[in-house]
Structure 1
C-alpha cells in the first residue's frame, strides 16, 4: 500500500544534491554534460547513503502503474524502480518529465533505503504527490527526491553558466519545473556569501555604535596659575591656552612672559 509522501531523516537541499553528485560519480558520469538514466537498466547495484546495494530498473506495463509515473520498492533482496512502458518510451525520446521521473525515483533509492526496507512504496503520482502539512520540506521524502532528481541530471558547472531555467531545462533534459527549482536554489546559494558579508558589516557597525566611549586623557597643565581664577589649570589649545577651571582663553605668550 503506497502513500503520497513519507517523513524521513532530515536533509538540507545542498546535502541532497551532494548525494546526487556522489551517485553520478559512482556511475562514472560525474563530468557528463547530459546523462541518460536508462543506462541504469543494465546496473545491478547502485551507491546509496547506506552503501552499495542491489538494484534493478524495471519497465512494466502501463496497466500496472495506471496513475503513477514511477514507483520505488524493496523486494527483500534489492531496490526496485518500476516505470511504466509509456514513461520509458518518453525517456528514450528525451522527454524531460520522463527522464526526471527516473532520476526522482533514484532519489528514493539512494536516500530512503531504511523506509523502503520497512515496507514503504514510494511512487511518483502523475497528478502530483500530496504532502501533509505536518511534514516539513527537509523531512519530506518527495521533496528530497525532487531535489535529488535535478541534482542528478544537471551538471553544476554547465548550469551555472546558463542564464535562465529555460536554458537549464533544454541543456540538461529536465522538466521546466525541475529546472526552475534547481536554478532558484543555486542562485540563492551563490548569493548567500554576499548576504553574510552585509549582515556582518551591519553587526560590526552596531557593535561599534554601542561600545562604551573611551574617555579622553586628562590634559597636562602648565605650572603657571590662571590670572583670572588663580588655579593652576592652564593647558595648551593650538596656539592658545585655556583654563580648565574657568574656561578663560589666552593668547600664547612669549618665552619669559607670564599670564596676565
Structure 2
C-alpha cells in the first residue's frame, strides 16, 4: 500500500508539473534569483562610548533629530515618547498620556512631523514636532506596526514580516513594497528601521544583528553583529526574549550610530567601518 501511495503521488506530481509548466518555470526562476544574490559582507565597527538608557524603556522607535535622541517605547500602559540629550544622556518624557490599550512602535520624523506606529491597534499617530503631547492627525493602518523610518520623501514601515512598505505621507497609501532577502532567501522579523546614506538599516527581531538593505532591490548587502555587546559593559544584565537589541539611530552630522535594546541600561555610540 505504501508503494502504491508513493507511486500515485509521483504520478500526480508529474501530471501537475506537465499541466502547469509556467508555475514550474517561476519556481526555478525564483531559486536562480536568490542564488544570484551575493552573501552580505560583514561590517565592523568601533565603540566610541555609551550614555545611560532607562531600563524601563521598552524601546520600539529610535532616531536622531538635531542634537537629540527621540525614542518611542511600547507595551500597553507603558507607551511613551521620550527625548534624550546625546551628550549627557539626560531624558525628558514628552508624552505618556496614551490609552491603556495602545502599544507604541516605530517612530520617524519627516518635515517637522513625527509619525508613530502602533503594534496591533492599526493606528498611525501624526504629531507636530513642536508639541508631541497630542496628535494632530490619526490614520488607519491595516497591518501590524513595527519599524519606521523615511528617505526624505516617503515614509518607510515594516510589519514584522520580510516586507518593507514605502508610504506616501499625504495619502498614507503604499507606493512600493520590498521583500528583504539575502543569498539564503527571504529574511523575516524585520523590525527597527533607520535610513542611512541611501540604505535601510534594520535589525531582525530576536537577534543581535543589524542588516544593511538596498532600498531598490530589497537585497541585504551588509550585516553587523552586536552579539554580546551589552554583556561586555554590564555583567549583571540578564538577557531574555524581551530584552533584545531594538534601537537604531544615526547622527548624520557626526556620522555616529546609536544602538540600544529593550530595557537595556546603556545606549552605545558606534562608528561604522565602511
TM over 0.5: no
Which structure shows the higher helix fraction?
1
- TM-score w.r.t. the length of structure 1 is 0.25
Which structure shows the higher strand fraction?
2
Rg (Cα) greater in structure:
1
- TM-score w.r.t. the length of structure 2 is 0.24
